[in-house]
Amino acid sequence: MPLAIDSTLPAANPKARQTPTINSTFGSAYSIAEINAYIAIRDQLLAEAEQLHTNAKIASTALANDFVEGCLKPARAPYEAQCLSESDAARERKRCAAVRDRIAHLRENVS
């Protein structure tokens, strides 16, 4: 029986996922919006994995979660403006850890 997503993961901050306004740094608003889109895709894949319990869906969710984690690493100069703020990134890294734990639990129950 799948668990509800909101009962297993820290709550997402909907304000953090709003598309920021374009500023003077080229592409920063688009980069942040793209990262938030990857986060939303990962969350959707997790919801599907919770319902379907297939190895393929769980593997897709794990891959998406790994990709999101990679997007949350601090960027080096001159790309600092193209990443989430540290507070948002820290919150999302915690969500990635929670998703990783949930994926492990799903994998145990697939057999």
pLDDT tens string 63-89: 999 999 999 998 888 888 889 999 999
pLDDT tens string 53-67: 999 999 999 999 999
**In whole angstroms, what is the distance from residue 21 CA to residue 7 CA?**
32
- Helices 55-71 and 86-110, packing angle to 10 deg: 160
Token pair 């690493």 is at which residue?
73
Which residues are within 8 A (CB) of 61 and not within 5 positions of it... i.e. 6 or more apart? Answer: 42, 45, 46, 48, 49, 99, 103, 106
Which sequence spans correspond to the domains of the chain? 26-110
pLDDT tens string 22-31: 444 556 888 9
Tokens of 82: 């193209």
Give the up-direction half-sphere exposure of residue 33: CA atoms within 13 A in the CB hemisphere.
9
* pTM for the whole structure: 0.75
